[in-house]
Structure 1
Amino acid sequence: MIKCEKRKLAKEKERFFKQNGGQILYQQILSRKVDTVIIFTVEDLKTATNNFDKSRELGIGGHGAVYKGILRDNKVVAVKRSKISNVTQAEEFVQEIIILSQINHRNIVRLLGCCLEVEVPILVYEFIPNGTLFHFIHGKQQPVSLEARLRIAQESAEALAYMHLSISHPIVHGDVKSLNILLDENYMAKVTDFGASRLLPKDEAQLMTIVQGTLGYLDPEYLQERKLTEKSDVYSFGVVLLELITRKTAIYSEGTDEQGKSLASSIIQAMKENKVEGMLDTSIMCVGMEELLQEVVVLSSQCLSIKREERPSMSQVADKLKAIRSTWSKLLLLKHNETELLIQDSGEDAACGSLSPSMYWTAGMMGMDIETPVANNRSTYSMG
């Protein structure tokens, strides 16, 4: 009886392995087209996650769950186990793994391997310890410095630009949001969750597909026409940029009884009425920085253009954010020098002198006395 069950289980694993393109992937590995992907057995991953124990859950959602795993060599990984659904065609799935395995960018979570002997393939990624950008912005009382926000924005933009331009087949992420940007031990941004991602065919700028994504971040043209393009990611990133400077969620309400508002629509309306300042996070509002914040608002509004051809590319967005950060650093240095002169002229000791509110935020943005959050083991990863 036990032998019969073992044979049945072995046959089922073999069937899933073939169904999920295991043989094709294995051939690619032998031909050295892929040399960075590890093929795990289901037993490997059960052991790593303590049989997918609930205490190991990093995040759970509509698409499945992500678990913290510890491999035999003590390497910590993130194990993404999707719910049963229509499995991607074997060739397409393998091609996606091949492309993802070739991505080598410091701001993109690295795919380490996969398990193909289950009905829906399990993916294994590098483990990122400090949770999501969403929780970093919205889940803490201590304000985050503008410098940190601009750096995270630039890093995320550079990752998306790399996906769009720097590999053999452009990849459209398809679900850019603050929950899909993780923060490593140094709070460096890492774009993750490629469940809705699509490889664009060569020489084609768009792909017809079933609409996927998240309410509040979805490109209106994609929603209407079902044409996924690189500019769909640009729109979604524009919403993330607004989250960073307003500390409002993509769909937000300002009162307990108020119906949810679209952050994208609200900022566009505020720009028309010249009321943008009222929407910005007060903790990053300081004297002399208004024009710089206005540049960030304008950039986000360009990303949110209704017509995709009017939106900048992700590489243009990344370049603009780099320029804004450079200007910001120079302004900070100038303001810091002015503050020191004021302290010297007044005869106050720097440790004893009181700071005005605007000077306090300047000090905070320069990295002084800004407390960094500690993420716990749970609710740090998103699954759709």
Structure 2
Amino acid sequence: MLLPLIILALSARSAAEAAAMQPSEMCLRRCGDVEIPYPFGVGSGCHLETGDWTFVLSCNRSADGRLRVYNYEIEVVDVSVRRGQLRIYSAINPWCYNGSTSAMNGQSNWWYDMSITNFRINDALNRFTVIGCNSLAYILSPNGTAGADRYMTGCMAMCPGAGRLEKENGSCAGVGCCQTAIPAGLNGYQVSFEEKFNTSAIAGFSRCSYAVLVEASAFDFRASYVTTDEFMASNGGQLPLVLDWAIGNNTCEEAKRNASAYACVSANSECVESRYGRGRGYLCNCSAGYDGNPYLLDGCQDINECDESRFRYPCSVPGTCVNTPGGFTCTCPDKTIGNAYNGTCGDNKSQLGWKIAIGISSGVVILIVTASCVYMIHAKRRLAKIKREHFRQHGGLLLFEEMKSRQGLSFALFTQEELEQATNRFDERNVIGKGGNGTVYRGTIAKDNGAVVAIKRCRLATERQKKEFGKEMLILSQINHRNIVKLYGCCLEVEVPMLVYKYIPNGTLYRLIHGGEGGASARRIPFAARVRIAHQAAEALAYLHSWASPPIIHGDVKTSNILLDEDYAAKVSDFGASTLAPADAAQFVTFVQGTCGYLDPEYMRTCRLTDKSDVYSFGVVLLELLTCRKALNLEELEEEKYLSSQFLLAVGEGRLGEILDPQIKGEQSMEVIEQVAELAKQCLEISGEKRPSMREVAEELDRLGKLSLHPWGQPNSGELAALLGGSPSMAADSDQIELSTSTRNISFSDTAYIGIRSPR
């Protein structure tokens, strides 16, 4: 008897503890027009106690009667227990030209910081949106570390002309309006405009720019938003934003161990892990066949599927539905026999009726089986047709014919099934890079003897990209250079093509210089090694500009797009922003793209992308190697925000030594360092015509590498790997191909996105 008594006592204790968590009947359950379902509540004892402020709301009934997140001026629009979501109002951030002062007004720099709650901003339903002309805005993390690590994502809206703008009603694709995805798991952000891009020059046409993080389905662009004050006026200065919420920071398994705090107290309820992963809390759902509030005792009530006023009657014979806990049955009346689910009920004494019932049932079964087979065949053919259409749209036929005609072309067309098998159906555990436009997975190709590859799976593709993808893949497949990441092939039978690259194990040059995830410090890099890596990257770019046919402009040269192999040899990667060199020098790109801190100012001014734009970006890479500083630091003053500005200012005032990395000053003669700095200065010339070509840069770096007076001399690949810390296995997989919001889908894009590195 002892064991049953213990079990009974424990059950009684759990029930008492659960009951103690329940709200009082006197608690406020409506504020204005908004329902307040538990676990949310207003006042002590009316909400779930989790040790934070997630479920604490306030309602000022004597004033405006609006529901708000506790201790914040954030108005709640709707609360959903079933979806685990909270909709709030997000403030629209204006930045306007003041005619009386002939200057832009000060920025509001609106903050949203919910770090003391368990809210996360839903990355699938919300979009960061910018409206205006020549308006660049971005969002920052309010609780990130200082410097560029706080820089998350943003985009730039352009206005080629009023006539083009009027055609863009309902479309937010860069003309007068741009949108970009946000990283997952954010619990706060700050909105800010880039002051180098303002509307003072076009104040008569578009006086204000606006930036807001908004629920995508609640926003519809109008051209009048750009030219008038309608956007603020018609929306009352705010738009809906969707937040996800969860309970605590435990998994379901961990939460169930603590009966006094476990929130899924209703019978017929179940625990669901947070969508943001392990350790990000959990939610409660009613089990199948039940509906209601799983956070309340007896909150999940059986659904009466037989209620014709709420549901379609589930039985084929009227009056035969019987509701059961969590389900229903269709039972023929007494003295009848048959199939009440999808047949008829008849007199069981009538053999004729019985035979008819059996015949009808058999016929129905045969009909269902036949219909199912026809449907499966049709669905299979439809899927095959869709795959063929995707293959054709992406230029697969052209690519396939070229592959057959060109013997020895090392390029493969992979099927969707092969890449799903390589990544275990794109398992999250195989993710090695993530960003606003897609994800990179590590995979193993079975048919290639288990070759390890990096598979880039993007989210979006424009119609132009779809049409030109096959032609561009054919060009990229012919790039064969020791310092460029090898493109093995692609998959064209999906809506957005996937790219398959060689896997590079030792991460990015950015990580080597500045340190990795979790605040890991950067490694000590000998000066000779820095020059060697720079020379290899320059050789790759020179190859693209001078020997590729047709020539290719990379378009997004930066340290996070230079990978390092097992011997720490440089490999230039990520051709998402690349374009073919224009045959006509007067050709313009539609939208400016690239990464802030590396963008060529002449390119931003003229919208003309040339090979000298890559030279400017490479000059910034040289500065990072010389100084170990980041290309962009938003914490600095305006004139020192960009590394290129800091460097040119220091050189102009004879203060080069102050900006250099102290390590290289102690190991190398200033004469060689100054020559590298002079080369970087030439690359950063404002006029592209005054910059050297990448071939000239590569030759000069080769000469400077040989002049190095380091005791180790110019190390070879194996020696360099030893100097930088040993085996390839030490590198983090997550740096294989950095997919940030600067990635331009998977093709040579003319999108309006401005590339911004997403925080790790």
Q: TM-score, with normalisation over the residues of structure 2?
A: 0.44
Alignment of 1:85-104 (within 5 A): 85-89=461-465, 92-104=468-480
Alpha-carbon deviation of 1:212?
1.2
Quick check: 1:321 aligned with 2:701? yes
Partner of 1:347: none
Q: How far 1:372 moved relative to its partner?
A: 4.5
Provide closer, same or farther for how the CA distance between residues 59 and 304 of structure 1 changes in structure 2, counting only shifts above 3 A.
same
| Partners of 1:205 and 1:158 in 2: CA distance | 27
Instruction: Give 2:680's aligned amino acid.
Output: S
Q: Percent identity?
A: 48
The alpha carbon displacement at 1:203 in A equals 6.3
SS at match of 1:80: strand
In structure 2, C-alpha distance between the alignment counterparts of 1:112 and 1:368, rounded to whole Å: 29
Whole-angstrom CA distance in 1 between matches of 2:478 and 2:722: 39
Q: Is the 8 A contact 1:200 1:206 kept in 2?
A: no
Higher strand share: 2
Q: Do the aligned residues in 2 keep the contact of 1:112 with 1:125 (CA within 8 Å)?
A: yes
Name stretches of at least 5 consecutive residues in structure 1 with no aligned partner: 337-364
Q: Give 1:35 deviation, angstroms.
A: 2.2
1:158-197 matches, cutoff 5 A: 158-197=539-578
**What do residues 334-360 of structure 1 show as CA deviations (whole Å, max 9, x unaligned)?**
x99xxxxxxxxxxxxxxxxxxxxxxxx
Which of 208, 221, 245 is equivalent to 2:589?
208
| Paired amino acid for 1:168 | S
Match of 1:153 in 2: 534
In the alignment, is the contact (CA less than 8 A) between 2:581 and 2:611 conserved in 1? Answer: no
Residue 306 of structure 1 is matched in structure 2 by: 686
2:418 paired residue number: 44
Measure how far apart 1:36 and its partner are.
1.6
1:278 and 2:634 equivalent?
no
Contact 2:552 2:581 in 1 (8 A): yes
1:371 aligns with 2:725: yes
Partner of 2:485: 109
- Cα displacement (A) at 1:6: 2.1
Check conservation: 2:479, 2:548, Cα contact below 8 A. Answer: yes
**8 Å Cα contact 1:82/1:122 also seen in 2:** yes
The answer (yes or no) to whether the contact 1:253–1:259 under 8 Å persists in 2 is no
The whole-number CA distance in structure 2 between the counterparts of 1:36 and 1:367 is: 29
Between the aligned partners of 1:33 and 1:93, the Cα distance in structure 2 is 21
Counterpart residue type for residue 676 of structure 2: V
2:606 alignment counterpart:
225
Q: Could you report, residue by residue, the CA deviation over 1:54-100 in whole angstroms, capped at 9, with x for unpaired residues? A: 22112112331211110002000111111213143556322211111
Conserved? CA contact 1:332–1:366, under 8 Å: no
- Distance change in 2, residues 1:60/1:51 (3 Å): same
Give secondary structure in 2 for the equivalent of 1:286. Answer: helix
1:299 alignment partner, SS class? helix
Please tell me whether Structure 1 or Structure 2 has the larger radius of gyration of its CA atoms: 2
Shift of the alpha carbon at 1:369?
6.2
In the alignment, what sits opposite 1:24? 398
Cα distance 1:65–1:34, how it changes in 2: closer, same or farther (>3 A)? farther
* CA gap 1:277/1:155 in 2 versus in 1, 3 angstroms: same
What is aligned with 1:289? 669
- 1:186 maps to amino acid: D
Q: Structure 1 residues 46 and 174, CA, compared in 2 at 3 Å: closer, same or farther?
A: same
- For 1:91 and 1:32, locate their aligned partners in 2 and report how far apart those are by CA, in whole Å: 22
Q: Distance in 2 between matches of 1:287 and 1:147?
A: 10
Q: Partner of 1:283: helix, strand, or coil? A: helix
| CA–CA distance in structure 2, aligned partners of residues 149 and 292 of structure 1 | 13
Aligned-partner SS, 1:113: strand
Distance 2:654 2:465 in 1: 50
Name the structure 1 match of 2:511: 135
* 1:186–1:143 Cα change, 3 Å: same
Q: Answer whether contact 2:398 2:471 (CA < 8 A) is retained.
A: no
- Paired residue secondary structure (1:243): helix
Classify the secondary structure of the residue corresponding to 1:371.
coil
CA contact (8 A) 1:34 1:98 kept: no
- In structure 2, do the counterparts of structure 1 residues 366 and 60 end up closer, same or farther at CA, with 3 Å as the change threshold? closer
Q: Of the candidates 710, 713, 723, which is equivalent to residue 332 of structure 1?
A: 710
1:97 alignment partner AA: M
Amino acid at match of 1:6: K
For 2:646, the aligned partner's letter is: S
1:119 alignment partner, one of 495, 510, 529:
495
Alignment: residue pair count = 352
Residues 1:65 and 1:109: Cα distance change in structure 2 (over 3 Å): same
Letter aligned with residue 57 of structure 1:
V
Question: Separation in 2 of the partners of 1:56 and 1:195?
Answer: 22
Map Cα deviations across residues 100-121 of structure 1 (whole Å, 9 max, x no partner).
1111100000111110001111
Say whether 1:83 aligns with 2:459. yes
- Give the counterpart letter for 1:151 in structure 2: R
Aligned match of 1:236: 617
Letter of the structure 1 residue corresponding to residue 536 of structure 2: E
1:64 to 412, 429, 438: 438
Between 47-56 and 300-309, the greater mean CA deviation after superposition: 47-56
Residue 144 of structure 1 and its aligned partner are, at CA, apart by 1.0
1:95-150 CA distance string (max 9 Å, x none): 21111111110000011111000111111111101111100110134311111111
| 1:286-311 CA-partner distances (Å, limit 9, x unpaired) | 26611111111111111011110011
> What letter corresponds to residue 406 of structure 2 in structure 1?
R
Distance change in 2, residues 1:258/1:143 (3 Å): farther
- Aligned pair in 2 of structure 1 residues 146, 206: CA closer, same or farther (>3 Å)? farther
Gaps of 5+ in 2: 1-374, 516-520, 714-718, 744-760
Q: CA deviation at 1:4?
A: 3.2
> In the superposition, relative to structure 1, how do residues 75 and 260 fare at CA in structure 2: closer, same or farther (>3 Å)?
farther
Aligned partner of residue 66 in structure 1, secondary structure: strand
Matched residue type, 2:693: S
Structure 1 residues 273 and 253: CA distance shift in structure 2, 3 A = farther
Q: For residues 236-279 of structure 1, what are the alpha-carbon distances to aligned partners after superposition, in whole Å with 9 as ceiling and x for unaligned?
A: 00001100111111012677x99971001110011111112111
Root-mean-square deviation (CA), in Å? 2.5
Asked if structure 1 preserves the Cα contact closer than 8 Å seen for 2:559 and 2:621, the reply is yes
Q: Which has the higher contact order (CA 8 A, sep 6+)?
A: 1
Aligned to 2:218: none
Q: More helix by proportion, 1 or 2?
A: 1
**Equivalents in 2 of 1:278, 1:269: separation in Å?**
11
Relative distance call for 1:158 and 1:288 in structure 2 (3 A) is closer
* Other structure's SS at 2:593 match: coil
SS in 2 for 1:147: helix
Q: Which residue of 2 is the match for residue 352 of structure 1?
A: none
8 Å contact 2:509–2:560 — kept in the other structure? yes
1:15 aligns with 2:389: yes
1:22 shift after superposition: 0.9
Q: Please tell me the residue identity of whatever aligns with 1:371.
A: G
TM-score of the superposed pair, with normalisation by structure 1: 0.86
- Paired with 1:51 and 1:84, the residues of 2 have a C-alpha distance of 20
Q: CA separation in 2, counterparts of 1:6 and 1:259?
A: 61
Residues 1:253 and 1:48: Cα distance change in structure 2 (over 3 Å)? same
